[in-house]
């Protein structure tokens, strides 16, 4: 089997780049003949098509990347297999996607979104995102790298560290977590809530709004927002430093940080919906808050990034759910349970670690990929 992988290569620390790079690493470990190239590099992609002659070109992205991931390989006579995430609504390229023999998606919820928006179910297979369980592993509380993380945030040994990681924190449910903390603030042990976000204009604006909410709730002294570029080398220790990973996300097609937290032996607070239904087990590896609200749209305005002209308006025949909000009261209850019960945190963390190793280790995912290629495309 000869595989060409298209993703953000060389990999940045972002989710899609990590998704692609871990599949690359897993295929290498299996002895598969595989190369990686940036999905936005037409000249280099063409170079690989000519000399490498791949059996399949696997592209990591979302439906809006159809020109780079699907149309470009097809133009050069190579079979594309996109590995896609969802962003709430699949607005374009239905005919192109439906003509493919195989589409990979990251969760059953993502598959449901594609089918809802006009993609045939019979050519969609679920392939979860891999996790590097050698790097993301339980650490001793006294590990110097873990201690250094906690010290950098001014967290004392007796404080409970809550953590949320994302491009911005609000999309990962941080506002709902803060609202829950304000309810239980006087009933739980001393804590610090750390929100690690990526530096971008959207995050800066959202950070200001989030901290204003923290002030209104009277918990701003317990909240720290940290914005900066970090590498994948740092992330296991950041997660390893926390006691609880809290991310009841508003939109989550898989939940890579939640899975990585499980791999580090950390209990997770999430939302009982979307991709987390595949990755978390409520009451065993995570506590999943019920959905309190669905954000529903009747129309959207899209542009060139989606293959349309600017200001292209789409009115839905049936209103679409594009975002979720977790129950604040459920989050408050689950935070109280975990913050006041160290043995429960350890028990759920251990179960989370076992589940990730068994189901989401990058080598396990690579083996599943090879199996799907054999079964669906006859590529060996």
Q: What would the pLDDT profile of 291-314 be if each residue is shown by its tens digit?
A: 999 999 888 887 777 777 888 888
- Kindly report the average pLDDT of the chain as a whole number: 95
For 148, phi then psi, to 5°, come to -65, -35
The class (CATH top level) of 144-290+327-359 is alpha beta
pLDDT confidence of residue 97: 97
Query: Comparing C-alpha atoms, which of 296, 291, 244 is closest to residue 271?
Result: 291
Would you place residue 207 in the very low, low, confident or very high pLDDT band (cuts 50, 70, 90)?
A: confident
- For residue 259, the number of C-alpha atoms closer than 13 Å in the C-beta half-sphere is 28
Question: Under a CB-based contact definition with an 8 Å cutoff, are residues 263 and 285 in contact?
Answer: no
pLDDT confidence of residue 102: 98
Helix, coil or strand: residue 326: strand
Helix, coil or strand: residue 238: helix
Query: Comparing C-alpha atoms, which of 237, 240, 238 is closest to residue 224?
Result: 238
d(CA 361, CA 298): 39
pTM above 0.85, yes or no: yes
Is residue 206 pLDDT above 80, yes or no? yes
d(CA 211, CA 195): 11
Instruction: Map tokens 């950098």 to a residue.
Output: 152
Question: Under a CB-based contact definition with an 8 Å cutoff, are residues 379 and 55 in contact?
Answer: yes
The class (CATH top level) of 2-130+361-377 is alpha beta
Start-end ranges of CATH 3.40.50.2000 in the chain? Answer: 2-130+361-377, 144-290+327-359
DSSP string covering 153-195? TT--TTSEEEEEEESSSGGGTHHHHHHHHHHHTTTS--EEEEE
Query: Comparing C-alpha atoms, which of 59, 102, 106 is closest to residue 86?
Result: 106
């Amino acid at each position: 089997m000869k595989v060409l992988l298209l993703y953000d290569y060389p990999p940045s620390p972002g989710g899609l780049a990590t998704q692609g790079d871990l599949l690359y690493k897993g295929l290498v470990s299996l002895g598969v003949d595989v190369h990686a190239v940036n999905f936005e590099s037409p000249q280099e992609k063409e170079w690989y098509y000519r000399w490498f002659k791949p059996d399949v070109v696997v592209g990591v992205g979302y439906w809006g990347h159809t020109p780079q991931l699907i149309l470009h390989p097809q133009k050069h006579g190579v079979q594309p297999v996109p590995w896609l995430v969802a962003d709430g609504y699949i607005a374009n390229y239905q005919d192109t996607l439906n003509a493919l023999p195989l589409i990979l998606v990251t969760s059953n919820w993502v598959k449901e979104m594609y089918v809802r928006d006009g993609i045939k179910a019979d050519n969609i297979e679920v392939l979860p995102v891999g996790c590097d369980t050698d790097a993301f592993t339980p650490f001793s509380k006294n590990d110097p790298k873990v201690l250094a993380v906690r010290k950098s945030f001014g967290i004392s040994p007796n404080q409970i560290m809550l953590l949320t990681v994302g491009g911005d924190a609000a999309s990962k449910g941080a506002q709902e977590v803060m609202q829950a903390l304000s309810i239980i603030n006087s009933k739980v042990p001393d804590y610090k809530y750390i929100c690690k976000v990526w530096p971008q204009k959207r995050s800066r604006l959202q950070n200001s709004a989030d901290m204003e909410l923290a002030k209104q709730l009277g918990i701003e002294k317990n909240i720290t927002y940290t914005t900066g570029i970090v590498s994948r080398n740092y992330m296991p220790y950041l997660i390893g430093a926390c006691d609880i990973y809290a991310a009841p996300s508003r939109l989550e097609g898989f939940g890579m940080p939640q899975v990585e937290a499980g791999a580090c032996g950390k209990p997770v607070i999430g939302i009982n919906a979307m991709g987390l239904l595949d990755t978390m087990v409520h009451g065993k590896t995570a506590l999943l808050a019920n959905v309190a609200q669905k954000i529903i749209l009747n129309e959207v305005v899209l542009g060139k990034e989606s293959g349309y002209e600017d200001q292209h308006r789409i009115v839905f025949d049936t209103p679409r759910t594009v975002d979720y909000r977790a129950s604040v009261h459920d989050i408050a209850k689950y935070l109280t349970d975990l913050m006041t019960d160290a043995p429960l945190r350890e028990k759920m963390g251990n179960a989370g670690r076992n589940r990730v190793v068994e189901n989401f280790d990058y080598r396990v995912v690579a083996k599943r990929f090879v199996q799907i290629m054999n079964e669906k495309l006859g590529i060996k």
